[in-house]
Structures are given as structure tokens and as C-alpha cells.
């Protein structure tokens, strides 16, 4: 069937696990009644994984109202890279992103696509109860607290539930694959810098899956912290020409119902990650500056700079 889609849904796939069939089933059952395209960006070169993925597509059959394709993004192991490759291969002029371990609500595609009829960049709602891990309900603040989430008071789209016009996506170069984490924040702030308003669509619902266990959560948020520092050191806040400054140390303070030990541990992990990330960026900045010095102007070895 020829692809005739103005809407493309892009899903990065690191491996075929037990969660992915649930998401593919949900996407196959979307209420959206216009042509659309599903692009699965496979981020591994294991041939058995491609075979398993294509087998899943056969199980959920290629219904008449959408086409599906698998693209190879295994040259760089990165979800951001997988999303960029998927976007490049997509036929649509509106790009919708979700993850393989979540579950799209039956009207997710319809509501997000309609929102993109009037807006250029839209984030949907992340519902956290359906796939909640028992006992972890108060470990984190709401991912989308009735609005787009914010970092240091600036909103951003979450890559697990977002839609953007292709021209806008390409104008900022897609997701920054050099960041450890926070590539959706960086992309969102680049859009803001271009004067593109980020909108929130509460009816575009993705049932969101958090990681299970305290240690995996702490490791994940430590990496978030490092990514935050990379963004602040390299870009600064939207409209900030200082590139970092005091904003690199300013804490983010989301509102929560109550403090718990896991919540404090999560916050501590982010803080440590931000400190490590800031040090890394300052060291890398020094190296980059040294590399720009002409060979004849370098300080004598052992004297430093």
C-alpha cells in the first residue's frame, strides 16, 4: 500500500520486550480515521530483534487506514538518534512521538493530530495510574501536572507524548544526540527561541510507565541531572545569553503532596548529577578553548593556562 499520510507516529525501539506488544496493539486500535503512518525505529543491529518486530506488526496486521515500516537506526545506540532517524524516514508533515513501553489511549492520535491542526508543537498528558508500580505512587511529582512540565520555570514537551510540525522539528535540528538526557527539554527550548509556542493537549493521553525500584530510579535521575547541566552550560535558559551562569546551580522545585524518602533520594540523585555534569562541562569547555589556541601560542607544558 502506498504511503499517503500527513501524520507519522514515530516509536524508538531498543529491543522487543513484553511491553512493546501492548503499545503496538494500542496504536493499531486508534480511533483516528484519516490515513497515518507508524514508523518503528529499531536501535539494535540484532537480526532476531528485527524479525521479532516485523512479526509483531504481522500479528497486529496493517489495517487499511495506516501503514507501518521498520527503519534501521542501529548505527548509534541512542533513543534520540532513533527518533531522528525515524523522523527523517517518515512521510508525514506532522510528527508524533511516543515510546514502546507505554500505552496510547484509544483517542491519543486523533486528539494530538487535531491539536496540530492549529499549533506547531504540542505535548499530551501522561497518565500515571494505569501502569503504576504499587508502592511507588508518591515517589515523583506528576509528569504533566495539568499542564506541560517545566524546568526552571520554562515549559517543555516530553518525548514520550509530543507532536510537532516537520518544518519546526527540522528547523532546530531534531533531538540533540550529544546530551546524556534532557534532549526533549533542549528541543523544546530551541523551539521557544524560534518563537514557537508550546501547547498542552490534556485529551492526548499516554499511559506512562515508570521504572520499577529505587536504585533504577536514582540512576535514571542522576543521568537526568547530568543532562540538565549540559543543557544549561551549552544553551542557557531561553533568552539567556549568559549560557549557564547562576542558572546552572538553581534548583528546580516541583510541587508535591508530601515528602517521602524515595522522593528525597530522587531529588538528591538529580542534584549530584547536576553537580557532576556542571564539572564535566566546565572541564570540556576548558579543553575546547585550549584546542582553539594556535600551536605557537600554547603555554609551555606543565605551566597550565
The span from the CA of 19 to the CA of 194, in Å, is 37
pLDDT of residue 283: 78
With cut-offs at 50, 70 and 90, classify the pLDDT of residue 293. Answer: very low
Better pLDDT: 14 or 285: 14
pLDDT tens-place string over residues 90-113: 999 999 999 999 999 999 999 999
Domains delineated in the chain = 7-210 (3.90.550.10), 212-305 (no CATH)
pLDDT > 90? residue 286: no
pLDDT in tens, 209-231: 998 899 889 999 999 899 999 99
pLDDT of residue 294: 44
The predicted pLDDT at position 298 comes to 38
The predicted pLDDT at position 188 comes to: 98
Q: What is the pLDDT of residue 11?
A: 98
pTM of the full predicted structure? 0.86
* Residue 214 · residue 262 · CB < 8 Å: yes
How does residue 85 score in pLDDT terms, banded at 50, 70 and 90?
very high
Helix axes 214-234, 261-292, angle to 10 degrees: 40
Q: What is the pLDDT of residues 15-64, one digit of tens each?
A: 999 999 999 999 999 999 998 999 999 999 999 999 999 999 887 665 55
Say what percent of the chain tops pLDDT 90: 66
- Residue 121, pLDDT above cutoff 50: yes
Mean pLDDT of 223-249: 78
pLDDT digits (tens, 9 = 90+) for 151-177: 999 999 999 999 999 999 999 999 999
pLDDT of residue 2: 42
Amino acid at each position: 500500500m502506498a504511503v499517503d499520510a500527513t501524520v507519522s507516529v514515530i516509536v524508538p525501539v531498543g529491543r522487543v520486550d513484553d511491553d512493546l506488544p501492548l503499545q503496538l496493539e494500542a496504536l493499531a486500535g486508534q480511533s483516528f480515521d484519516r490515513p497515518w503512518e507508524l514508523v518503528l525505529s529499531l536501535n539494535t543491529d540484532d537480526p532476531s530483534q528485527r524479525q521479532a518486530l516485523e512479526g509483531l506488526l504481522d500479528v497486529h496486521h496493517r489495517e487499511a487506514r495506516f501503514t507501518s515500516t521498520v527503519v534501521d537506526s542501529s548505527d548509534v545506540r541512542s533513543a534520540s538518534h532513533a527518533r531522528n532517524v525515524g523522523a527523517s524516514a517518515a512521510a508525514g508533515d506532522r510528527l508524533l512521538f511516543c515510546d514502546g513501553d507505554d500505552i496510547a489511549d484509544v483517542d491519543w492520535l486523533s486528539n494530538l493530530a487535531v491539536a496540530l491542526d492549529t499549533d506547531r508543537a504540542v505535548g499530551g498528558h501522561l497518565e500515571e495510574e494505569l501502569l503504576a508500580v504499587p508502592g511507588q505512587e508518591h515517589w515523583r511529582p506528576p509528569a504533566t501536572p495539568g499542564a506541560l512540565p517545566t524546568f526552571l520555570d520554562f515549559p517543555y514537551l516530553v518525548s514520550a507524548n509530543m507532536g510537532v510540525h516537520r518544518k519546526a522539528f527540522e528547523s532546530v535540528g531534531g533531538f540533540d544526540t550529544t546530551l546524556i538526557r534532557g534532549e526533549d527539554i533542549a528541543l523544546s527550548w530551541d523551539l521557544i527561541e524560534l518563537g514557537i509556542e508550546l501547547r498542552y493537549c490534556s485529551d492526548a493521553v499516554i499511559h506512562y510507565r515508570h521504572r520499577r525500584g529505587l536504585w533504577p530510579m536514582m540512576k535514571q535521575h542522576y543521568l537526568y541531572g547530568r543532562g540538565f547541566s549540559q543543557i544549561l552550560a551549552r544553551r542557557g535558559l531561553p533568552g539567556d545569553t549568559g549560557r549557564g551562569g547562576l542558572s546552572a546551580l538553581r534548583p528546580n522545585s516541583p510541587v508535591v503532596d508530601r515528602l517521602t524518602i524515595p522522593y528525597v533520594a530522587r531529588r538528591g540523585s538529580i542534584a549530584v548529577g547536576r553537580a557532576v555534569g556542571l564539572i564535566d562541562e566546565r572541564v570540556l569547555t576548558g579543553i575546547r578553548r585550549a584546542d582553539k589556541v594556535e600551536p605557537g601560542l600554547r603555554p609551555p607544558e606543565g605551566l597550565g593556562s
